[in-house]
Amino acid sequence: MDVKKVFFMSKKIKVAPSLLAADFSNLEKELKKIEKSKADALHLDIMDGHFVPNFSMGPKIVGTVNKLSDIFLDVHLMIYNPYDYVEKFIEQGADMITFHVEATEDIEDTLNYIKKCSKKVGLALNPKTSFSLVERYLELIDVLLIMSVNPGFGGQKFIESTLKKIDLAKKIKDENKLKYEIQVDGGIDDIIGKKCVQKGADFLVAGTYLFSQSDMQKGVEKLKSL
Ligand code: DX5
Ligand code: ZN
């Protein structure tokens, strides 16, 4: 079976290394390391210098990564007007596209467009954003991305109030028998990851933690087994 198709069938905690923390001068080697680690997905952070105060990569890098690797590509758009760019990222091999509830007024259209392209869809919310803003879209999404740092940079400290939001997301999911996965992104290591999983997270993104391991596979296994 195609590796990418196994993605949404696993029962374990899913883990995605964030490419932002990789050594870009050695991209091919880093991708081999990620594949070997048996991570479920590769998280690609796309920043536009407006929605967040930083730039990172664009569709071309996603395309390069897609050529060099078979891993499921989880594209996290931290950009305004995501609808306008969805097609470009899908053309380059994105398997899932997550965009921010704060970044557009066309939330439903953007969600539906990504789904129409037969890709997984995620909706993200920032640490200061009220959960009520995403509530009405929960039945439309595959993944709810709860940001545990203010987006824009890797290597930041996990914001503890995120735990309450994960708890709420899990309660609402269970009460309404919804299917979305709860992804947490920012400042995750094995200790904080465990707290997130205990509250109901099922999908962890980690950059600094996983890339600082001498053996990435062991780090991934540790997070998966939380
Ligand atoms: C932050 C990004 C995160 C980041 C995670 O804007 O969305 O995905 O790369 O990196 P760490 O794990 O280093 O906080
Ligand atoms: Zn991210």
- Full-model pTM: 0.96
Q: 185: buried, middle or exposed (CB in 10 Å: 19+, 13-18, 0-12)?
A: buried
Residues with CB under 5 A from ligand 2 (ion): 45, 76, 185
pLDDT tens-digit series, residues 67-88: 999 999 999 999 999 999 999 9
Please give all residues whose beta carbon lies within 6 A of any atom in ligand 1, as ranges.
18, 20-21, 43, 45, 76, 149, 151-156, 185-188, 205-209
Quote the pLDDT of residue 4.
62
Quote the pLDDT of residue 12.
86
167 is catalytic: no
Q: Which of 95, 185, 189, 202 is catalytic?
A: 185
Average pLDDT over the chain, rounded to an integer: 96
How many angstroms is it from 82 CA to the middle of ligand 2?
15
Q: Which amino acid is at 208?
A: T
- Domains of the chain and CATH, by start: 19-224 (3.20.20.70)
